[in-house]
Structure 1
Amino acid sequence: MSTADSTAARPRLADLSLSAMIAGLVAVLVGYTSSAAIILQAAAALGATPAQAQSWLIALGLGTGALCLALSLRYRAPLLFAWSTPGAALIATLPAGSTLAAATGAFLFSALLILICGVTGLFARVVERIPRALAAAMLAGVLVRFGLELFTSLSLAPTLVTAMLLAYLLAKRMAPRYAVLAALVIGIAVASLEGSLHFEHMQASFAWPSPVWPRFEFAALLGIGVPLFVVTMVSQNLPGTAVLRQHGYTTPVSPLISASGAMTLLLAPFGVFALNLAAITAAICAGPEAHEDPRRRYMAAVCAGLVYLLAGLCGAMIVGLFAAFPQALVMAIAGIALLGTLGSSLADALGAPAHREAALVVFLVTASSLELFGIGSAFWGLVIGALWLALARRRRGITS
């Protein structure tokens, strides 16, 4: 699907579908349940008060929702954004003594670097040089954990997950567009019967953002700002771009990176440490489960954006709602929703014989969760795979 095709027509309400709505809801569910606790740990590591920690969740939800909604409608593509979960983990492990004001200054510095990468087109030029097979292999390596956890969750809740798998398979045969919805509905029903839904932590309350005046300290700029920038670009924006390309969306990358950097700059005083292109949750909205017509999948990201905005406005109430679902249900629905994307990524990665071995190396390194110098395995998978491919080409040139 070309950008020209996606931007030629205006968004239409007729493009909305139940499958897109479910894909958007599942994406937000996975986003919150996989990282809300890490965000709260990061805020606590900087000495944030409960009100300030709540401000982080509010601002992150509003910023993410605004980006998803505005840019998906602008480009008519499933452009899902998220906060940098690796960035939150980085902040959560900061040594004692790091202050919230100095960290806020570092958030602004990191956002400025991201904005510069977007405005200058530097990031887009790097992405264009990555072979499609290697990008697909990296995406498969990122997603394979969710495929494995789908079946790992069988040991946690065999009845629940078996019922979800059967519902998915039956619906896939009879009504493919609603297969993920069927799995989710059956999962919630079985979890309710088993008594594993817990809504006691929900709070019916609204909160207001609490700003922090930034302080620019050289040590924090280097110790927090630079690593946060690197982690966000290579562990989040790079796989996020691969998701779009894997599904045939040629939306220009530079405006997306620029928008995420600008939004982070705007909301950093309220606790937004880094916003970026989503990868895992984006694959849910960009895949065939959202809609069989790629031109209508943008509505999945629009729906996700609306839910993120609602989550930002409602704060603890929405987070408590997502936390009510048992972990096995979340693991299972994420794995089910990503099966199609994982399969197509593996097919593209291994389809070209000339790139097959290098792509396999990218997949294995990315799936290994290797981390060096604070940078995640997705980046190292591409680096090692690119070197492998270059040496293989040189070897073939020498022997021919």
Structure 2
Amino acid sequence: MADQENLLLKKCSNGFPVAELTNAFVSFLFAASAPVAIILSAGAKGGLSQSDIASWIFAAFAINGVLTIAMSAIYRQPLAFFWTIPGTVLVASALQHLTFPEVIGAYFVTAALILALGLTGSVKIVMDRIPLPIVMGMVAGVFLGFGLDWIRSFGSDPWLTAAMTITFFVLSAFPSIQKRFPPMIGVLIAGVATLMIAGKTPSIEGITLATAFARPQLYTPVFSWPAAFELVLPLAITVVAVYTPQGVSLLRSAGHEPPVNAITNACGIFSALAACFGCVSTCLTGPSSAILASSEDKGRHWIAGICLGILAILFGVFSPLVTRALLATPRAFVASLAGLALLRILQSAFQTSFKQKFSLGALVAFLVTLGAPPLFGIGAPFWGIVFGLATSVALERSDFRDSPPGPGR
């Protein structure tokens, strides 16, 4: 009798996806904390209204949640889709001199380009043509501002920033803890606790059950050459040459065989859908996919993808409540959350840019992106890639001959 009960308990344990649900929740918290802070920071810098930001967050989670569920179920793999964080940072810069409808127009052109690359199987060709160090030099130039905002927060709110920063470095110092408790979740908890102790907890007065639900806005795009030149190529690169190779590599290391062309096609189609509501381009996410694929049973990883998609949809539906709460927090909270979240990415961008080949072109891309004003109405990130490539073509020709093809170039 006891043996039968133990066997029944084992079957129930195997049937209920405890590990998969846990991984999905951790992956969701990772996406719903610091990356959302980056959207808020980008929207605030770009002068977007609260309703614009809420619509952006709705699409970022709800629409990409649907894609995550569909792709995970079809291919029985943990395929997590959200939005490109470097693209969000690029948009923050572009909104300084472009209108939001112009930016959305660039989203649609980017979606068409990504879809064309997927349908023609040309993703690998694009990866081969633009050296990754130069792209990452541009990314480092854009991300640096968020890192500096975090440092400046020590002056405006030292106790809050110090609590969040100390938590990040303490948790990051113990790899065994990181696997079960991501440092950014600890940073979020530390920040909220500090706000509560200081009596600065954000108020959500005025939010009712009706107004807590998302009311996504449909936008009419405006197509302009300055927006297209500034945003389309960098956004497409972050999707097909940065995020897709990263996510595919992480999934392959977990024993999966992700469908690269289908992933690219899906990113193109859903980037267009998300753009209708003001959201930046869709991409396969490496960190979230890696968390979903961290449990022992590879055959059940796709269940974690389904759970993540459901959580993302629910979060998107209640985006006004989340947006109101986060916008009511002190600026140092959002700046610290975003800066600490991007710290490792900024480190990786510098390492990729200046490790070996194309380092001079990467340096020029970094400096131009960091310091150049808009030229002919086109922002610095585009010119960073242009001048970085020109520098490498002129002075680093041997690097093109010696570099192997592929995203590691």
Q: Same fold (TM over 0.5)?
A: yes
Whether 2:231 is the aligned partner of 1:224: answer no
Offset, 1:200 = 3.0
With over 3 angstroms needed to count, the CA separation of the structure-2 counterparts of 1:348 and 1:89, relative to structure 1, is closer
Q: Which residue of 1 is the match for residue 266 of structure 2?
A: 259
SS at match of 2:366: helix
Residue 116 of structure 1 aligns with an amino acid whose one-letter code is: A
Q: Which residue of 2 is the match for residue 318 of structure 1?
A: 322
2:203–2:328 contact (8 Å) kept in structure 1:
yes
For structure 1, the residue ranges without an aligned partner over 5 or more in a row are 1-11, 44-49, 215-219
SS at match of 1:325: coil
Residue 272 of structure 1 aligns with an amino acid whose one-letter code is: F
Match of 1:76 among 74, 78, 99: 78
Q: Which residue of 2 is the match for residue 389 of structure 1?
A: 392
In 1, Cα distance between the equivalents of 2:283 and 2:203? 28
RMSD across aligned C-alpha pairs, in angstroms?
4.6
In 2, Cα distance between the equivalents of 1:41 and 1:263? 22
Q: Which residue of 2 is the match for residue 34 of structure 1?
A: 41
Q: Which residue of 2 is the match for residue 7 of structure 1?
A: none
With over 3 angstroms needed to count, the CA separation of the structure-2 counterparts of 1:396 and 1:305, relative to structure 1, is closer
Match of 1:24 among 26, 31, 43: 31
In 1, Cα distance between the equivalents of 2:190 and 2:112? 45
Offset, 1:129 = 1.8
SS at match of 2:342: helix
In 2, Cα distance between the equivalents of 1:106 and 1:173? 41
Q: Which residue of 1 is the match for residue 148 of structure 2?
A: 148
Identity, % of aligned positions: 24
In 1, Cα distance between the equivalents of 2:302 and 2:144? 24
In 2, Cα distance between the equivalents of 1:169 and 1:373? 43
Match of 1:330 among 334, 354, 374: 334
Offset, 1:185 = 1.0
For structure 2, the residue ranges without an aligned partner over 5 or more in a row are 1-16, 253-257, 401-409
Give the TM-score of the pair, scaled to structure 1: 0.69
Residue 276 of structure 1 aligns with an amino acid whose one-letter code is: S
Whether 2:123 is the aligned partner of 1:116: answer no
Offset, 1:378 = 3.1
SS at match of 2:281: strand
The residue correspondences of 1:241-252 to structure 2 (distance < 5 A) are 241-245=241-245, 248-249=249-250
The residue correspondences of 1:227-306 to structure 2 (distance < 5 A) are 229-240=228-239, 241-245=241-245, 248-249=249-250, 254-266=261-273, 271-273=276-278, 275-277=280-282, 285=288, 306=310
The residue correspondences of 1:56-75 to structure 2 (distance < 5 A) are 58-59=58-59, 61-71=61-71, 74=75
Residue 382 of structure 2 aligns with an amino acid whose one-letter code is: F
Whether 2:190 is the aligned partner of 1:186: answer yes
The total of aligned residue pairs comes to 360
SS at match of 1:80: strand
2:53–2:323 contact (8 Å) kept in structure 1:
no
Give the TM-score of the pair, scaled to structure 2: 0.68
CA deviations on 1:31-78 (whole Å, 9 max, x unpaired) are 4412455788489xxxxxx8x997676556532433455457756355
